[in-house]
Structure 1
Amino acid sequence: MKTAKTSQWTTFQTPACQADFTDSALQGRMNQLWNTNLSGFTRQGITGNPWTATNSSDQTWYFDPTTTNISEGVYARITWSPVPGRIKYYFPNTSNANMWSLADTGYDTNGATFGQIPADPCDPSDTTKTPYGPYGPRGWQDEYCEWSITRNAQGQIVRIDFTCENPEYWNTLWMVSPQRVVELYRSTLDKPQIALEDLYLRDAAGNPVIDASTGRPAYNPLNKWNSGTASTSSAGGAMHLTSTPNTLQTEIGLGSTATTPRTSGNANPNTLICCAQYGQIGRNSDPHIGQSVNLVVTPPNPAISPAKATLANPPGLYIQTPSFNRITAPRGIDPSTFWTIKRGQNTLTDGSGNSMPGNFILHAVFEVPAALGFTISDLQVDGVPVQWAAQIAQTFNMQIAAMALPQSPGPVAQACAGSPAVAQAQALQLFNTPVFDAMIATPITNPVGQAMNLASNSTMIAPHIEPGAVRRPLTLVLTGLLDPPQLPTVSFGPGVSVVAGAMQPVRYAIPGNTYPSDSWALSLLVNVDASAAPGLRDALVNNPGQTATIPTPALLNIVDPVTKDMA
């Protein structure tokens, strides 16, 4: 750990302090939207789940680094392997070759996909099985790092793109400038053939879906250039994360939940993760991150002070520099020359110019120059010839930079999370209706053949609505309804009126979740007074006969109209 002794940034910085606009007005707009989104995610994490779970709310030992005095803060690195740990966890007899093949493609060397796994790994008495997930074109790459592989006509690997960029950033960037997004796709993936129209979300008839938040076509996060693990000149690439748990909002939620001390203790990461109900057993990331955070809050050594914790600003997930000494190239050529940082940076300083721990790489390319006359497939990792990109992934770690803020006395341990006797209605997510309709109707293929749709790749970014808006169609996704379900009441606070319409059952993975779940989609028509105060609005939902007192934070954003030709 390293004492920060820093003056804080008063806003959330973009990941790795990435600046993607040379135009100061556009970058300023991006910074403003990003800070708004991260402030909302942080409030959601601290609030937790007081509606449909017990001992899972008011997680105040997680803190907002932009509103808390962090002059005595201490940095800490939390690192893990990007190779999907759950493959070996559930299939321990899998050979290394099959594990690498599964990590790269979703299929082993014989063309077989993942077997079934326990439906509830926290309950050994439950013998129910379920298909291995997360589902999706590269859903199994669930360690906050995903990659795509380019092979030549002979099947040799010529390029690997590694990314850990969160989807929320790219959705925010799209809201500012779709044109800048397509330019970054082209330059990062080195594919000038990518067209703006390739990135559009489309309805069943193939027409672009207009996002009322911007008045422009909506973004498809699983467009053909950011889908799957095979990259060619006509499709494929890894621009940002797509596995449903791989979101920044989820990482904030995991970190905040992990700050709650548990009566189970924190000596065993799997015991802790089952008690607190965050993440998945068997990952290299979730159990280790959660235990690391919990040990900061409740250290086993009484000589160490307990501390509040947070993701250090700028919050993000970062690729670390590979251990190049594990890689051998022909003619003794230095393999570090094959590594190019496309986005992010090797080092980062905080608001006071102090060095932050680790590397802050967002997108890296591993590629042997064609002039050398050999390919990645001619390399060795740990003395084993390279056939799979996962072998290169084994040579580096992922990282979050955390911050601890010593406190005294420490928090009181809570019992394990559970189900309440009576659940309250919970607002989960809000969409502009045309965007939701298109996403829920778009099927997504995956190796295990499970039903999946594009709504699982949505984000928790609040839809924008302007003062004076009339009868804006929005869709609110809910859980915790009565059985049988009855129409709940919905409020977004002063100056916003709501008319609730039809309600239908839906199934998708709420952003950040590994598996799809059943919930309800409620159609709304929303009016906003011309004098309504701008900013994020919470959603308070009540079942008939129930009175909830805690709203879901940051689901709607009232903003001044954005000039449509700004970008």
Structure 2
Amino acid sequence: MITSKASQWTTFQTPACQVDFTDSKLQGRMNQLWNTNLSGFTRQGITGNPWTATNSSDQTWYFDPTTTDTSEGGYAQIIWSPVPGRIKYYFPNISNANMWSLADTGYDTTGATFGQIPADPCDSSDTSKIPYGPYGPRGWQDEYCEWSITRNAAGKIVRIDFTCENPEYWNTLWMVSPQRVVELYRETLDKPQIALEDLYLRDPTGNVVIDASTGRPAYDPLNKWNRGTASSATAGGAMHLTSTPNTLQTEIGLGSTATTPRTSGNSNPNTLICCAQYGQIGRNSDPHIGQSVNQTVTPPNPALSPAKATLANPPGLYIQTPNFGRITAPGGVDPRTFWTVKRGQQSLTDPAGNPLPGNFILHAVFAVPPELGFTISDLQVDGVPVQWAAQIAQTFSMQIAAMALPQPKPGPAAQGCAGSPAVSQAQALQLFNTPVFNAMIATPIANPVGQPMNLASNSTMIAPHIEPGARARRLTLVLTGLLNPPQLPTTLSFGPGVSVDAAGAPRAVTYAIPGNTYPSTSYALDVFVSVDPDAAPGLRDVLVGNPGQTPTIATPALLNVVDPVTKDMV
């Protein structure tokens, strides 16, 4: 439902309009990089996948809010529960206690982990099973909200950190200033013992990996202070999202894909999600978000006008204020006093002063002040004693703020369901600085179900930086849609002023491409990239083509030609 008129920012704002630098130069650099990254993600979403899928491209009913006149637009709120919905979806007879325990720890009250689930829940004829995912130290928390739990020596919960901050923001922040990142870790988690070196990406032998984009140590998104759901004085915490589907670039992709009307209709969210092939059925978030967006473009009431849709600026996923009336504390203490917003804002207005719907909380802490003499484990939610952080999580909602831009009738024609084309085209998926890729792909990540996973699944789609005049920079391009057996592409282009040469043959690699729930096999191709001194700056698209095929569409925004990062950006 549209709640208020919109007014336009001309650049993408940081989530919740967060300002993390007092130095205006550093904040300006952060704002610039963030706008560049979000512009690239938006182009990727609108382009879709014309290479290896049908009915999944040219999604122009999703729009860029920074380049579109939004004066006739309006805001809408889409909300869902942060408690992983797929647990109850696949295990409907599970008790609440076991569901809460699984949501918190990846194990039920008996110490058993998740069971097997259908490999393809959209195909009832497929009886094969796979381990429940997403994988990772808290991968099952896949509703764009993750949490870590601090318990005392008696096992009682004394603190819960809830975060919905996207990993792309923290990777961008690290590119501007690792020192500011470690300061924010200390301030947000209240752990002054966190060292900068704790956040460095290391290869399997323990050596620090240097990111050629900055010339400094690369960031480890699953460092020991942002890993798992148990937090202590020596490890653990939840600074930003780590479940592989929980990325902002993916949310933009979901929103853009959901703008395509489908012949399946949009009355059933799971039918729609299977037809369009975005996200996972059973989640509280993706099916509901996709259906809401699709019904904006193709209203169920034919008397209503269609509308283009986008994530409202500032794009992000946000925690809402809990329903404190569901929480009971000893002595009638008001539970509102246990809730502290560490990052984000209660409310936002656009440049014209119009209110955006809902709250814009990025990180919140729920903790009982020690002087009260009791803990979170002495509270009740809905009359049930609290044993699990998930019980507190179920008292609040998650949100995206959407924007709808009314359009004249008729709306776009419905397309059939997404599928596989008769002949796939080569597709560039992701680009890395090679040392970063090699370290990530070689770093195994433990998870409750014991499935093979590596750190590359927690990479992001942020384009590597390269300077004009750079010579023979070694990068790794991840591809799909290659001929079988895999052959070198005969077309490989980053556009004018950039030359590229293959440094070897494609090799199979398995990881979850950012935003995907499960790992898949793609091909990694090492390349040497050189940039002319006078090459135009900005994001570069990557055009690849198999032998005998003529590619026409490039993958947007995989490389960023930039001026050298100045030395004070530390």
Q: Tell me, yes or no, whether TM beats 0.5.
A: yes
Q: Give the 4+ runs in structure 1 shifted more than 3 A.
A: 1-7
CA distance in 1, matches of 2:353, 2:38: 22
CA distance in 2, matches of 1:38, 1:261: 25
Aligned-residue RMSD, C-alpha = 0.7
Partner of 2:439: 438
- 1:427 corresponds to which letter in structure 2? A
* 1:359-378 matched pairs, under 5 angstroms: 359-378=359-378
- 2:453 corresponds to which letter in structure 1? M
- 2:244 corresponds to which letter in structure 1? T
Partner of 1:526: 529
Partner of 2:208: 208
CA distance in 2, matches of 1:72, 1:224: 47
Q: What displacement does 1:3 show?
A: 5.7
CA distance in 2, matches of 1:566, 1:286: 37
Contact 1:226 1:240 in 2 (8 A): yes
Q: What displacement does 1:300 show?
A: 1.1
Alignment counterpart, residue 543 of structure 1, candidates 546, 550, 562: 546
- 2:104 corresponds to which letter in structure 1? D
* 1:110-149 matched pairs, under 5 angstroms: 110-149=110-149
- 1:94 corresponds to which letter in structure 2? I
C-alpha distance after superposition, 1:284-342 (max 9, x if no partner): 00100000000000001112110000000000000000000000000000001100000
SS in 2 for 1:527: strand
Quick check: 1:264 aligned with 2:267?
no
Partner of 2:558: 555
Contact 1:4 1:71 in 2 (8 A): no
Q: What displacement does 1:408 show?
A: 1.5
Partner of 1:220: 220
C-alpha distance after superposition, 1:132-189 (max 9, x if no partner): 0000000000000000000000000000000000000000000000000000000000
Q: What displacement does 1:564 show?
A: 2.8
SS in 1 for 2:543: strand
C-alpha distance after superposition, 1:235-255 (max 9, x if no partner): 000000000000000000000
* 1:376-395 matched pairs, under 5 angstroms: 376-395=376-395
- 2:377 corresponds to which letter in structure 1? S
Identity of aligned residues (%): 86
Partner of 2:453: 452
Partner of 1:491: 493
C-alpha distance after superposition, 1:344-400 (max 9, x if no partner): 010111121111100000000000000000000000000000000000000000000
SS in 1 for 2:503: strand
Q: What displacement does 1:233 show?
A: 0.1
**Structure 2, gaps ≥5 residues long:** none
- 2:231 corresponds to which letter in structure 1? S
Contact 1:4 1:72 in 2 (8 A): no
Partner of 2:478: 477
* 1:42-191 matched pairs, under 5 angstroms: 42-191=42-191
Partner of 1:398: 398
Q: What displacement does 1:6 show?
A: 3.9
SS in 1 for 2:230: coil
CA distance in 2, matches of 1:17, 1:532: 32
Contact 1:348 1:355 in 2 (8 A): yes
Partner of 1:350: 350
C-alpha distance after superposition, 1:87-109 (max 9, x if no partner): 00000111000000000000000
CA distance in 1, matches of 2:337, 2:565: 44
- 1:107 corresponds to which letter in structure 2? Y
- 1:429 corresponds to which letter in structure 2? Q
CA distance in 1, matches of 2:568, 2:300: 56
CA distance in 2, matches of 1:278, 1:560: 36
Contact 1:77 1:401 in 2 (8 A): yes
Contact 2:310 2:403 in 1 (8 A): yes
- 1:415 corresponds to which letter in structure 2? G
**Structure 1, gaps ≥5 residues long:** none
CA distance in 1, matches of 2:56, 2:351: 33
Contact 2:346 2:359 in 1 (8 A): yes
Q: What displacement does 1:548 show?
A: 1.0
- 1:477 corresponds to which letter in structure 2? V
- 2:428 corresponds to which letter in structure 1? A
Measured at CA, do residues 10 and 4 of structure 1 come closer, stay the same or move farther in structure 2, by a change above 3 Å?
farther
Quick check: 1:278 aligned with 2:281?
no
CA distance in 2, matches of 1:534, 1:110: 57
SS in 2 for 1:44: helix
CA distance in 1, matches of 2:458, 2:2: 36
CA distance in 1, matches of 2:26, 2:502: 36
Contact 2:2 2:404 in 1 (8 A): no
Q: What displacement does 1:563 show?
A: 1.2
Partner of 1:421: 422
Q: What displacement does 1:207 show?
A: 1.3
Contact 2:466 2:561 in 1 (8 A): yes
CA distance in 2, matches of 1:334, 1:303: 47
Q: What displacement does 1:24 show?
A: 0.2
CA distance in 2, matches of 1:495, 1:125: 51
CA distance in 2, matches of 1:168, 1:14: 11
Contact 1:497 1:526 in 2 (8 A): yes
Partner of 1:229: 229
Contact 2:327 2:381 in 1 (8 A): yes
Contact 1:174 1:219 in 2 (8 A): yes
Contact 1:320 1:358 in 2 (8 A): yes
- 2:496 corresponds to which letter in structure 1? P
Partner of 2:302: 302
- 2:562 corresponds to which letter in structure 1? V
Contact 2:324 2:336 in 1 (8 A): yes
CA distance in 2, matches of 1:276, 1:566: 42
Contact 2:7 2:354 in 1 (8 A): no
Partner of 2:193: 193
Q: What displacement does 1:4 show?
A: 4.4
Contact 2:273 2:287 in 1 (8 A): yes
CA distance in 2, matches of 1:3, 1:352: 15
- 1:492 corresponds to which letter in structure 2? F
Partner of 1:506: 509
Contact 1:209 1:434 in 2 (8 A): yes
- 1:416 corresponds to which letter in structure 2? C
Q: What displacement does 1:2 show?
A: 4.2
* 1:454-469 matched pairs, under 5 angstroms: 454-469=455-470
Partner of 1:566: 569
Q: What displacement does 1:7 show?
A: 3.4
CA distance in 2, matches of 1:535, 1:262: 35
Q: What displacement does 1:13 show?
A: 0.1
C-alpha distance after superposition, 1:104-145 (max 9, x if no partner): 000000000000000000001100000000000000000000
SS in 2 for 1:58: coil
TM-score, scaled relative to structure 1? 0.99
Quick check: 1:412 aligned with 2:413?
yes
TM-score, scaled relative to structure 2? 0.99
- 2:130 corresponds to which letter in structure 1? T
CA distance in 1, matches of 2:248, 2:355: 23
Measured at CA, do residues 354 and 221 of structure 1 come closer, stay the same or move farther in structure 2, by a change above 3 Å?
same
CA distance in 2, matches of 1:547, 1:460: 26
Contact 2:6 2:74 in 1 (8 A): no
C-alpha distance after superposition, 1:253-273 (max 9, x if no partner): 000000000000000001000
